């Protein structure tokens, strides 16, 4: 991996086709080594980085309020000249600045932090002030947000048609004396010559077919637009580029995998898989059969499989994984299933032991909690190849775990793992197949963006035996009614989950709530058998309790979110989620997936512990309205934003600087298409037309080469 260049160490590269664009910031007029050092900390190394640091907003004359027309309570931006600045001493000293714009006077007031402002806000300075207007012996704004505008035409404040960029600010920027005003001064000269000095790296043909403006135009209009529409068009072009280069990276990674013909074909008659299918008490769904077909085709090919299996909770992913794993086992090789939690590992081990029994395969479990002696024994089984099917947690990734012949890696609940982790396991074999499973139904845009290098299979059908789930939210006043439900469920022989939130920060009090809840239920339902599980219960005991619940030896299971993944009790038909307003949307959906796993109707009650916020209310409403994982995922994505939704950092993929996944979703497919088309016509990007493109790609990704290698 290329080290990140230090400022000053990079001279303008002699061979650069874009001398202005790729110029190290240090050599940009008005920057110099000191500021370059600070910018380096912000990840800004070149003029291009500086130019792609777009304004946070614009001051548009057409949106500027006239002081003479202000009303109390309005939130406005006004532009004016400082007429007077004074410090008023008293109980609470304050700075008062009088601003005039020819239509009236406005006071700006600071009660704190005004000492350095006093220096700046001299009489005659032109500035834009934003805030909410109050009235006290005249109109005033308290602690307004300020922009100093030395370049605004002072004599004609009402003139329209000029837009001033306002840049992101912060300590670091200010330390480099690069507040908005400073940045405008540095950027303006760069922009002025842009039409000739900055060359577009996107081939004309791509720009034309996607109706995107040129790079120089976009850069100038993103910084100094004439109109808001221009600014937006410019931003869109630059967002398109971000998607484009990411897709180019994914496409190349994919192409590199496709070229590898030294993967191994897994050729078997499929006898064992058929034995398993025959032993199942139910028929596979059409979706399951389709997906198994897709996977089997991959296994038979000598191109390593890279496949994402997407299926909502309860769509039956486990048996699909088992049928893939057993094919490698029949071929004599090993497969490893990596899962995020011990409890899930144990559950999968249990399920797979039953599923694989007809072929005489005994899966081996490897987790952090098994004794070191037992662990050694199991590691030996794995190293010798005797263990064909291995299930484990992060423990599988550790140094001492070596495989004899790893044919395939399966990853469950993919969102819990980073790219690096999955790679670690893959590296323990020689180009093994890779199957990644996720219950987070990823909206299509996200799937394309983040998994563009994977093939995708979707389990879009739930097994018919699974029942319907009705969901409702209730307040504390309904508690008696809920107890009646629990009572009735018990009399029918149905099982009940009571789930409490567990937030790390308040872990103690949360555990307390679960424990108290457990005791209250024991008292309330003396004739029912109640169990309690949470993260602090030893894992053997936890598993034992869950097993009892699964077998119907318990009626009620009180738990924290430890049951979120995996545990499967078909007779569970009631779930009460306490303090539901505190849960995330995807989490609520995952939890609800624990019921409705057998025939008949199930009920999920979302209990409110406090008045829900607007967003919490939206989460609850979606839950009540739909059971469709995709709709829930879309909503969750919208409410939380993509970074949190996916744990973007974890994925090792760059966060976008300009593009916003939701707002710019429409750009993803075209950008992807453009990238694939270019690589198809010129896989090595050697055409003269593509030289600039290569250079830009490299510029954007040097610090992130691992992206090109992972996979």
| Spatial contact of 500 and 517, defined as CB atoms under 8 Å apart | yes
Greatest alpha-carbon pair distance for the chain in Å reads 91
Q: Which is nearer to ligand ADP, 394 or 594 (CB)?
A: 594
Residue 282 within binding range of ligand ADP, rule CB under 6 A: yes
Site track for ligand ADP across 509-548, x = CB under 6 A:
----------------------------------------
Report how far residue 711's alpha carbon sits from residue 256's, in angstroms, rounded to the nearest whole number.
10
Rounded to a whole number of angstroms, the CA Rg of the chain reads: 31
Q: Which of 580, 574, 577 is nearest to 595 (CA)?
A: 574
Q: Which is nearer to ligand ADP, 316 or 441 (CB)?
A: 316
Q: Which of 80, 144, 165, 314 binds ligand ADP (CB under 6 A)?
A: 314
Q: Which is nearer to ligand ADP, 54 or 336 (CB)?
A: 336
Which of 116-124, 270-278, 307-315, 331-339 is the region at the interface with ligand ADP (rule: CB under 6 A)?
Answer: 307-315
Minimum CB–partner distance for residue 314 and ligand ADP (Å): 5
Element (H, E) at 438: strand 433-438
Which of 250-258, 317-325, 469-477, 542-550 is the region at the interface with ligand ADP (rule: CB under 6 A)?
Answer: 317-325
Residue 465 within binding range of ligand ADP, rule CB under 6 A: yes
Report how far residue 73's alpha carbon sits from residue 79's, in angstroms, rounded to the nearest whole number.
18
Minimum CB–partner distance for residue 459 and ligand ADP (Å): 7
Q: Which is nearer to ligand ADP, 47 or 469 (CB)?
A: 469
Residue 463 within binding range of ligand ADP, rule CB under 6 A: yes
Q: Which is nearer to ligand ADP, 166 or 359 (CB)?
A: 359
Q: Which of 574, 554, 550, 416 is nearest to 482 (CA)?
A: 574
| Spatial contact of 291 and 457, defined as CB atoms under 8 Å apart | yes
Q: Which is nearer to ligand ADP, 90 or 281 (CB)?
A: 281
Minimum CB–partner distance for residue 351 and ligand ADP (Å): 7
Minimum CB–partner distance for residue 564 and ligand ADP (Å): 11
Place of tokens 């993103």: 222
Cα 594–chain centre separation: 24
Q: Which is nearer to ligand ADP, 601 or 655 (CB)?
A: 601
Which of 88-96, 216-224, 306-314, 660-668 is the region at the interface with ligand ADP (rule: CB under 6 A)?
Answer: 306-314
Residue 126 within binding range of ligand ADP, rule CB under 6 A: no
Distance (Å) of CA 371 to CA 306, 381, 485, 571: 34, 15, 43, 34
Minimum CB–partner distance for residue 184 and ligand ADP (Å): 54
Minimum CB–partner distance for residue 276 and ligand ADP (Å): 12
> Helices in 525-667 by DSSP H: which ranges?
539-550, 585-592, 614-625, 629-640, 642-646
Residue 597 within binding range of ligand ADP, rule CB under 6 A: yes
Residue 563 within binding range of ligand ADP, rule CB under 6 A: no
Spatial neighbors of 188 by CB under 8 A, at least 6 apart, are 223, 224
Spatial neighbors of 381 by CB under 8 A, at least 6 apart, are 364, 387
Q: Which is nearer to ligand ADP, 325 or 482 (CB)?
A: 325
Report how far residue 30's alpha carbon sits from residue 466's, in angstroms, rounded to the nearest whole number.
67
Minimum CB–partner distance for residue 354 and ligand ADP (Å): 10
Residue 317 within binding range of ligand ADP, rule CB under 6 A: yes
Residue 423 within binding range of ligand ADP, rule CB under 6 A: no
Residue 316 within binding range of ligand ADP, rule CB under 6 A: yes
Minimum CB–partner distance for residue 313 and ligand ADP (Å): 4
Nearest-CB residue for ligand ADP: 316
How many of the other CB atoms lie within 10 Å of CB of 621?
13
Which of 142-150, 277-285, 638-646, 673-681 is the region at the interface with ligand ADP (rule: CB under 6 A)?
Answer: 277-285
Q: Which is nearer to ligand ADP, 122 or 551 (CB)?
A: 551
Residue 30 within binding range of ligand ADP, rule CB under 6 A: no
Spatial neighbors of 650 by CB under 8 A, at least 6 apart, are 415, 417, 418, 419
Residue 284 within binding range of ligand ADP, rule CB under 6 A: yes
Element (H, E) at 256: helix 228-259
Q: What sign does the CA torsion over 547, 548, 552, 555 have?
A: negative
Place of tokens 């991959």: 298
| Spatial contact of 527 and 330, defined as CB atoms under 8 Å apart | no
Report how far residue 321's alpha carbon sits from residue 343's, in angstroms, rounded to the nearest whole number.
18
Residue 311 within binding range of ligand ADP, rule CB under 6 A: yes
By CB under 6 A, the residues from 428 to 447 that bind ligand ADP are: 439
Minimum CB–partner distance for residue 568 and ligand ADP (Å): 5
Report how far residue 340's alpha carbon sits from residue 578's, in angstroms, rounded to the nearest whole number.
25
Q: Which is nearer to ligand ADP, 569 or 620 (CB)?
A: 569
Antiparallel, parallel or unpaired: β 602-607 and 572-577: parallel
Of the chain, the end-to-end C-alpha distance in Å amounts to 15
Report how far residue 182's alpha carbon sits from residue 192's, in angstroms, rounded to the nearest whole number.
16
55 backbone φψ class: left, alpha, beta (φ>0; ψ -120 to 50) = beta
Residue 568 within binding range of ligand ADP, rule CB under 6 A: yes
Q: Which of 343, 381, 412, 382 is nearest to 563 (CA)?
A: 343
Antiparallel, parallel or unpaired: β 455-459 and 389-392: unpaired
CA angle centred on 635, ends 476 and 231, rounded to 5°: 135
Q: Which two tokens stand for residue 244?
A: 């484009």
Spatial neighbors of 545 by CB under 8 A, at least 6 apart, are 531, 532, 533, 537, 554, 557
Which of 40-48, 284-292, 641-649, 672-680 is the region at the interface with ligand ADP (rule: CB under 6 A)?
Answer: 284-292
Report how far residue 622's alpha carbon sits from residue 467's, in angstroms, rounded to the nearest whole number.
19
Q: Which is nearer to ligand ADP, 236 or 319 (CB)?
A: 319
The site that binds ligand ADP (CB under 6 A) totals a number of residues, namely: 18
Q: Which is nearer to ligand ADP, 5 or 598 (CB)?
A: 598
Residue 501 within binding range of ligand ADP, rule CB under 6 A: no
Q: Which of 79, 206, 319, 574 binds ligand ADP (CB under 6 A)?
A: 319
Q: Which is nearer to ligand ADP, 159 or 283 (CB)?
A: 283
Minimum CB–partner distance for residue 599 and ligand ADP (Å): 10
How many of the other CB atoms lie within 10 Å of CB of 105?
16
Minimum CB–partner distance for residue 355 and ligand ADP (Å): 9
Q: Which is nearer to ligand ADP, 120 or 465 (CB)?
A: 465
Minimum CB–partner distance for residue 423 and ligand ADP (Å): 24
Which of 41-49, 50-58, 311-319, 661-669 is the region at the interface with ligand ADP (rule: CB under 6 A)?
Answer: 311-319
Q: Which is nearer to ligand ADP, 351 or 560 (CB)?
A: 351
Task: Point out which residues bind ligand ADP (CB under 6 A).
Answer: 282-285, 288, 311, 313-319, 439, 463, 465, 568, 597
């Amino acid at each position: 991996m290329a080290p990140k260049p230090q400022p000053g160490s990079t001279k303008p590269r002699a061979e650069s086709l874009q001398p202005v664009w790729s110029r190290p910031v240090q050599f940009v007029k008005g920057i110099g080594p000191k500021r370059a050092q600070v910018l380096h900390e912000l990840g800004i190394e070149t003029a291009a980085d500086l130019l792609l640091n777009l304004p946070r907003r614009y001051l548009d004359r057409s949106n500027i309020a006239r002081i003479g027309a202000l009303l109390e309570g309005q939130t406005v931006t006004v532009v004016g000249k400082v007429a007077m600045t004074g410090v008023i001493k008293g109980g609470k000293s304050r700075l008062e600045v009088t601003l005039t714009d020819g239509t009236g006077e406005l006071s700006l007031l600071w009660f704190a932090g005004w000492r350095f402002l006093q220096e700046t806000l001299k009489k005659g300075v032109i500035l834009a002030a934003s805030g909410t207007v109050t009235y006290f012996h005249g109109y005033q704004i308290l602690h307004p947000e300020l922009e100093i505008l030395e370049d605004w035409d002072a004599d004609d404040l009402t003139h329209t048609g000029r837009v001033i960029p306002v840049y992101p600010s912060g300590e670091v920027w200010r330390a480099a004396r690069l507040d908005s005003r400073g940045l405008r001064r540095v950027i303006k000269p760069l922009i002025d010559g842009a039409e000739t000095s900055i060359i577009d790296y996107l081939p004309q043909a791509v720009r034309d077919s996607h109706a995107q403006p040129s790079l120089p135009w976009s850069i100038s209009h993103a910084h100094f637009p004439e109109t808001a529409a221009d600014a937006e068009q410019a931003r869109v072009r630059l967002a398109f580029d971000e998607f484009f280069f990411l897709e180019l990276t994914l496409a190349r990674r994919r192409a590199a995998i496709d070229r590898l013909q030294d993967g191994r074909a897994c050729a078997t008659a499929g006898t064992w898989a058929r034995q398993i299918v025959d032993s199942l008490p139910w028929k596979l769904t059409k979706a399951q059969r389709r997906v198994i077909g897709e996977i089997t085709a991959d296994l038979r090919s000598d191109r390593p499989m890279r496949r994402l299996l997407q299926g909502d909770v309860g769509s039956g992913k486990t048996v699909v994984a088992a049928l893939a794993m057993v094919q490698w086992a029949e071929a004599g090789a090993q497969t490893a299933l990596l899962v995020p939690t011990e409890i899930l590992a144990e559950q999968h081990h249990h399920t797979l032991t039953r599923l694989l029994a007809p072929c005489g395969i005994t899966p081996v479990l490897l987790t952090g909690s098994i004794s070191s002696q037992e662990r050694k024994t199991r590691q030996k089984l794995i190293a010798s190849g005797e263990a064909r099917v291995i299930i484990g947690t992060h423990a599988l990734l550790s140094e001492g775990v070596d495989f004899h012949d790893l044919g395939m890696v399966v990853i469950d609940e993919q969102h819990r793992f980073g790219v690096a982790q999955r790679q670690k396991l893959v590296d323990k074999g020689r180009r093994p197949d890779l199957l990644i499973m996720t219950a987070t139904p990823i909206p299509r845009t996200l799937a394309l963006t983040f998994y563009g290098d994977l093939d995708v299979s979707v389990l879009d059908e739930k097994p018919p035996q699974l029942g319907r789930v009705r969901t409702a939210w209730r307040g504390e006043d309904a508690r008696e009614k809920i107890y009646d439900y629990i009572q009735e469920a018990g009399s029918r022989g149905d099982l009940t989950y009571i789930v409490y939130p567990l937030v790390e920060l308040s872990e103690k009090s949360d555990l307390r709530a679960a424990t108290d809840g457990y005791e209250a239920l024991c008292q309330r339902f003396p004739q029912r058998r109640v169990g309690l599980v949470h993260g602090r219960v030893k894992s053997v005991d936890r598993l034992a309790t869950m097993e009892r619940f699964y077998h119907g030896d318990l009626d009620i299971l009180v738990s924290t979110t430890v049951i979120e993944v995996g545990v499967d009790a078909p007779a569970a038909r009631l779930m009460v989620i306490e303090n539901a307003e505190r849960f995330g949307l995807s989490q609520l959906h995952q939890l609800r997936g624990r019921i409705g796993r057998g025939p008949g109707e199930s009920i999920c009650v979302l209990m409110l512990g406090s008045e829900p916020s607007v967003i919490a209310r939206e989460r609850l409403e979606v839950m009540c309205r739909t059971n469709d994982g995709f709709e829930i995922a879309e909503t969750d994505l919208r409410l939380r934003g993509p970074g949190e939704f996916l744990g973007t950092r974890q994925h090792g993929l760059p966060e976008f600087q300009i593009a916003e996944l939701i707002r710019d979703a429409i750009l993803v497919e075209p950008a992807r298409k453009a990238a694939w088309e270019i690589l198809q016509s010129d896989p090595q990007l050697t055409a003269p037309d593509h030289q600039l493109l290569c250079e830009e790609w490299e510029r954007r990704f040097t610090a992130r080469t691992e992206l090109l290698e992972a996979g």
